[in-house]
A and B are shown apart, each in its own frame.
Chain A
Amino acid sequence: MFEKALKGNNYYWMWLAFLGFIIAVGGISYLRQFFYGLAITGMSRDVSWGLYISQFTFLVGVAAGGVMLVLPYYIHNYKAFGRITILGEFLAIAALLMCMMFIMVDLGQPLRALNVMLHPTPHSMLFWDMCVLLGYLFLNILCGWVILTAERKQVAPPKWIYFFVYVSIPFAISIHTVTAMLYCGLPGRHFWLSAIIAPRFLASAFAAGPALIVIMALILKRVANFDAGKEAIDKMVTIIIYAAIANMFFLALEFFVGFYSQIPGHTHTLQYLFSGLDHHGHVYNNLVPFMWAFLILFVIGIALISYPATRKGSDLWLGLGCASIFIAFWLDKGIGFVLGGFVPSPINEITEYYPHLNELLITAGVWAAGFFVLTILYKIAIGVEHEIEA
């Protein structure tokens, strides 16, 4: 089926070349980091995880978000999702590849990464995260490929594949739950030490993942003559609205617990993120603009995708609404959550994080690599669709 990725119009090749260029820049930047060390990042003794791990955390959510198509289609037999379920599965593959790349570029000794398998350590959540991420990647490749092949031959998919499809559903939940457990089990990090982190991660994932799929479906409608169907899009938007509101509800609960109990440890990071934290007379507020952008984009996005005129009236408004939600939750989880958790440090010092240019280029490179894979996978999926129709 790969031959489908080799035939495309000029725009297709230009897009791939553009991504390829960013990948190349990211690759060179990575070589620089590989030979010099992580000192050419903004990370420090106090903020020991930066953009890489925060992108990883967000993208695990994007990968898990695909389950919002798989579950209704396979469990509830919701036929309208038939055409786009494959988009969810392939998005999961691309997102998981990005996750793994982000982990690799974050390691101080990437050549020793296999130590995690050579010395399996069940009391480390990172070990389990690796297990479920690899498992979910395998399941999505297997299910996506087998089902697409069957579709192409216009036969029903083999019965055994449904076993793996059903297994992939709890796996999707588990990848984000275990990723939340990386954070929420650490003593002394008050912002992360909250039982609601896992549900909050899932809620934001089930909004951000489908939002990206809707955007993709709208783009594919224009550039690849692929119509996901009005009903499917509409149902997805409903899912996004509920999940997005659930995320905000959980966030509001964090605010309540922090500011009603008035326990300093529970309020410091929230203050740092949303209003700035006063520390020995200096106000630290590096991330405040990002967090307010998150709130504003959420309001704009939810308005655009809820108000009937913009939701049903025009693809452009709908797309912008979904993009707002996606970016809002990226700011929330892909910036604020991880970076904010390190402030203040356990010894009550504040170090702010400013990403290094090299780090930004590597981050862009990994995103570009993910979209490169995604483009090729979608090209194949849509090629097959067109072949059946023809």
Chain B
Amino acid sequence: MDQKRRTFLKVAGISTLAGLGAATGVGRLIGGAESAMAAAEEAQVNASAQNGTGQNAACGDACINRYGMLIDARKFREDPTLGERVVLACHREHNVPNIPIKKDEIKWIWMTHYDNAFPEQANLYRDEVNAQFQLPILCNHCDNPPCVRVCPTQATFRNADGIVMMDYHRCIGCRFCMAGCPYGSRSFNWSDPRPYIDSADMNRDFPTRTRGVVEKCNFCDERIRKGLLPACVEACGDSKAMVFGNLNDPNSEIRQMLKQHHTVQRNPSLGTLPSVFYIV
């Protein structure tokens, strides 16, 4: 077992114990996913990063990592083919079926207009750039995720590292999480997805799904554990169009960039605390 995986398991284990011990019934009821006001208390996070154990509500005692992503929409305007490459990289990596029927489509990351990504930022006089170009949207891996709160089986759950995950074997397909997600990040397998996966392109290391379960971006959990970057980030090459990193580490690249740029989150007024940030 490599070091990363061990750290991951340790974090997960400790957080489970802490969760069992500390969470009161009421807290669980209203809190849903135990939420972290990530990076809210700069000093606290600094301290925790130094001694290696984060004091973070999300995982009780230890929360070394909270993954986040910064998307630089300017880069996607500079290189109009980048969007397609990013989407393809993700969908290929995760065996996301390519279903031509619009109502049944499944997508983990896709390009959309600014008005769709940020509908609450409507502007009567749209600037040309935003009217014309598209930016990628994906699951925000909310720190306070409504999808986790509403799921009746915990098939959608929040890892200690902030990644909102799916258990495809537990999901009953009630689609409550799809109604609950305020970002439209989730897709349902209305029929068997396998006929729509190009078998030549298939990634044998990642599971395909069955019909009747929900799926979404998993922040490339399987790659992060191996020390790799998410597939979409990798597809951006050195362009820094997408930056992935640990939000709890003030020295991480993503935190440095967040410090230097004005960034926005999608619909922050809902209190979901998205972990995906945009430079628009």
Q: Which of A's residues lie within 8 Å of B, judged by CB? A: 36-39, 41-46, 48-49, 103, 106-110, 112-113, 115-116, 118-119, 121-127, 130, 182-183, 185-189, 264-265, 341-342, 344-349, 351
Contact = CB atoms under 8 A, between A and B. Distances in A.
Given A46-B184, A123-B32, A347 B117 contact: yes
Query: Interface extent on B, as a size class?
Result: 35 or more
Contacts, number: 157
A58 B31 CA distance: 29
A189 B212 CA distance: 24
A16 B136 CA distance: 56
B176 A187 contact: no
Contacts of B105: 45
B211 interface: yes
Given A37-B211, A346-B184, A351-B103, A108 B173 contact: yes
A103 B33 CA distance: 25
Contacts of A103: 174
Contact of B191 (A39, A48, A124): A39
B37 interface: no
A265 B119 CA distance: 10
In the complex, which of the residues B105, B122, B184, B272 has the most CB atoms of chain A within 10 Å of its own CB atom? Answer: B184
16 contacts: A36-B191, A106-B175, A108-B173, A109-B212, A112-B171, A118-B153, A122-B29, A123-B30, A123-B31, A186-B146, A187-B270, A188-B183, A344-B119, A346-B183, A346-B184, A347-B137
Nearest to B26: A122
Interface in B125-146: 137, 146
Nearest to B105: A45
Given A44-B102, A46-B184, A347-B112, 4 more contacts: A45-B104, A108-B173, A116-B153, A123-B31
B119 A347 contact: yes
A187 B181 CA distance: 8
B170 A116 contact: no
Contacts of B155: 115
Interface string B237-273: 0000000000000000000000000000001001110
Nearest to A116: B152
Contacts of A118: 153
A103 B171 CA distance: 15
A116 B171 CA distance: 10
Given A107-B174, A187-B271, A39 B190 contact: yes
A49 B179 contact: yes
A355 to B, nearest CB: 12
